[in-house]
Amino acid sequence: MKSEADRYHGRVLVTGAGGFIGHHLVKFLKSKGLWVRGVDIKKPEYEPSPADEFLVQDLRVPENCQQSVRGVRDVYQLAADMGGIGYITRNFASLSRNNVLINANMLEASHLEGVDRYLYSSSACVYPSFLQHAESVKGLREQDAIPADPEKGYGWEKLFAEQLTTYYGEDHGLGVHVVRLHNVYGPLGAYEGGREKAPAAICRKVAEAEEGSAIEVWGDGEQTRSFCYVGDCVDGLSRIMESDDAKPINLGTEELVTINELVELVCGIAGKHLRKQYDVSQPQGVRARNSDNSRLRKVLNWEPKTRLEDGLKRTYPWIWSRLDKTGTAKPPRPKEALGPPIPR
């Protein structure tokens, strides 16, 4: 007799499918021939979802989670209340409560409905702040998360959810995977409104700026980060789900840049010469953060390949075109995107 997992082989659930990474993941999994159900509190903003079925559900409600996971083999749990540094530093209580409810409900529903494999998308925000004070930071290794000192709010609830996911694997035999994402960017993501991440925010500011003018940069611009192109991210998520590894694993790049360097890359792609106006009163997060991909290479014999400049060559034209429709984009019109294609 076939198990429930065997019966539903090839049927996948992506939560957070109305969001940036979730939407790209649905497209990627569909390109692999899988049947995909998408679930989110909203539908994708910039284009229709190609999901075979899309449920608009609030996953803070347990019954909605059970309905969402019914009849699938694999669950990609990407649903979360989140945004850029400005958003997550202003909403500690509500963000933490929402995400704890979503993750606890999704794990219990997956256990009760006999899901085979469950991937939880965590964040590099779980890493201790005391390891991220210097601009020339070493890549963060998975074992560095303990002793704990994650980012307030978002980082703490992510670390708790990682542990809860692990416990469901140990106690109930759920095939769990925990992925720590590092600063994912690309087209079809938020670029205004407060939930956008640094690459999208910089692209928007550059696109709206007149030649020779100044754009606002939060902090002094010397804080450092690495950024992962969304096409690499969804490819990596799929590979990790297919692996036998159950321990937390980084998914990012090791290409460390300052925010000033990020601005210069975008200006170069835009063909603009702009000045920087620094605002050190704005939220900045940790001083530095980079991924150590040693485990990723060992487990998958793979890691993200897209250079930041190449990914921005796809991201900036998309954001410029969106702003052009509202009349806020300033010339020159960017050249056709030359970066890596988005998986379909």
Q: What is the DSSP string of 219-262?
A: B-S--EE--EEHHHHHHHHHHHHHSS--S-EEES----EEHHHH
94's tokens = 């509500």
For residue 36, report the phi and psi dihedrals to the nearest 5 degrees: -125, 130
Report, as residue numbers or ranges, the catalytic residues. 154
What is the distance of C-alpha 227 from the center of its chain? 10
- For the stretch 279-282, contacts whose Cβ atoms lie closer than 8 Å and that sit 24 or more positions apart, written own/partner, are 279/216, 279/217, 279/218, 279/219, 280/219, 280/220, 282/86, 282/218, 282/219
Q: Are strands 224-225 and 257-258 parallel, antiparallel or unpaired?
A: antiparallel
Cis-peptide into 332, omega within 30 deg: yes
DSSP state for residue 288 in the 8-state scheme? B
Q: What is the CA radius of gyration of the chain?
A: 20
